[in-house]
Amino acid sequence: MLTQTSQADWLTRAKEVLPGGGFGNFDPSIFIRDGQGARVRDEDGNEFIDYLIGSGPMLLGHGHPEVLEAVYEQLPKGMTFFANNTAAIELAEAIVAAVPCAEQLRYVSSGGEADMYAIRAARAFTGRDKIVKFEGGYHGMSAEAQMSLAPTRRVNFPQAQPDSAGIPASVAAEMLIAPFNDFDYIRSLLAEHGDQVAGIIVEPLQRIVPPLPGFLQLLREEADKYGIVLIFDEVVTGFRFAWGGAQELYGVTPDLCTLGKVIGGGFPLAATAGRAEIMAHFDKSVVGAENWLMQLGTLSGNPVAAVAGLKTLEILQRDGQYDRLRSLGQQIIQMTQTALTSRDIPHQIVGDPTLFEVVFTQSEVRNYRDTIEGNAQAAALYNKVLRENGIFKSPGKTYPCLALTDDDLAITQTAIENAAQALSETL
């Protein structure tokens, strides 16, 4: 008789071979065994409604039959080639047709790589070095991106704080940090440094914080004024917010954008996309050796990821998909509002119906510093009770997916009510 290994045993084994016992992404004590639709099961057999969905990629849910069919068809033909393949060209054509700023793109394997290359492309195109980043904005793991991502102490803007060891002080000198949604500050910062700035990189929805009306348009105007490359990090929002991403939803077109998560259909795939004259720096025959931006990757444009992404986009383009996604998200928001408000628990639900979170505060949330002013103990208890009641999610984000059913929503509502009740008995 086979003995099932418990998650506790797996964690012990993991700690022998992995620093911290995990991959660096999520709670290492939980091991997901399988997923189907909007549900996942762990190695102890517990089932959850999945609002993490791989940190965003599984917008259609786990194991979508049409995506699986496309992958199964590709697998016997080859898993990777380090050469062009037609599926990746078709996917690129679909992305260019959908995303307003995209005239050309270059594939990579992760969103962090895409952001790194977007920053490098802005520098290559402008011949400048400085980059404007917003405090709390997440753009991957490059040295530039690890500046003022989650600073634990407050310093004066535009000083950059590294969030990781091993980053040279010289990197901080080239980064200018600004508060998100502060119109006056970005104007004053660029008035002083605009002629030195190569790029402004921004999440159109910064983690969960939406832009104030006109803020992204201001960035577009200021970038044009000073000849700066405006970069939208749409690794999360691309093909989630709308068919054309956040730039379509908000009506502001950047010069470059980065895409990931959804475009790979659950496989490692990302891209830097944008204006052809900027993307030309990836082509030595056009810009020459001195201006060439070298980029290559073993799995870039991987054919399995490409067919999964292509089928995912085909499904998303069908009538009613985005209306349904927003409706599902709005239902969960309403459940949460009702449960917390009826118990007089101070809170704000921040984000967009396709991606949101509760911040336990009475104050408006406009930037990173506002989010960390929320009641962290309340958030921890709320998420703990949700997990105990069958909800699998990040501590900081809720990702609805199109596979959610009425039964899933009913379980979700009960879990939210129980979590709100636990808070009311504690606060």
Tokens of 172: 């901080």
> Is 233 one of the catalytic residues?
yes
Q: Are the C-beta atoms of residues 239 and 245 closer than 8 Å to each other?
A: yes
d(CA 371, CA 385): 21
- Of the residues 133, 261, 311, 393, only one is catalytic, namely 261
Q: How far is residue 102 from each of residues 70, 227, 425, measured CA to CA in Å?
A: 25, 19, 51
Which residues does 258 contact at the CB level (< 8 Å), separation at least 6? 111, 114, 115, 118, 139, 231, 232, 233, 234, 235, 238, 270, 271, 272, 273
- Of the residues 107, 117, 138, 382, only one is catalytic, namely 138
Separation of CA 336 from chain center:
23
d(CA 414, CA 306): 38
- Of the residues 50, 115, 233, 370, only one is catalytic, namely 233
The type of residue at 245 is G
Tokens of 360: 């336990």
Q: How far is residue 5 from each of residues 14, 20, 28, 114, measured CA to CA in Å?
A: 13, 20, 16, 38
Task: Order the strands of the 47-50 sheet from edge to edge.
Answer: 32-36, 39-42, 47-50, 391-392
Residue 282, helix vs strand vs coil? helix
> Is 138 one of the catalytic residues?
yes
d(CA 271, CA 146): 20
Which residues does 372 contact at the CB level (< 8 Å), separation at least 6? none
Which residues does 157 contact at the CB level (< 8 Å), separation at least 6? 135, 177, 178, 179, 185, 189
Tokens of 161: 């704080």
Number of Cβ atoms within 10 Å of the Cβ of 73: 11
d(CA 264, CA 317): 15
Q: Are the C-beta atoms of residues 177 and 145 closer than 8 Å to each other?
A: no
Query: Which residues form the catalytic set?
Result: 138, 233, 261
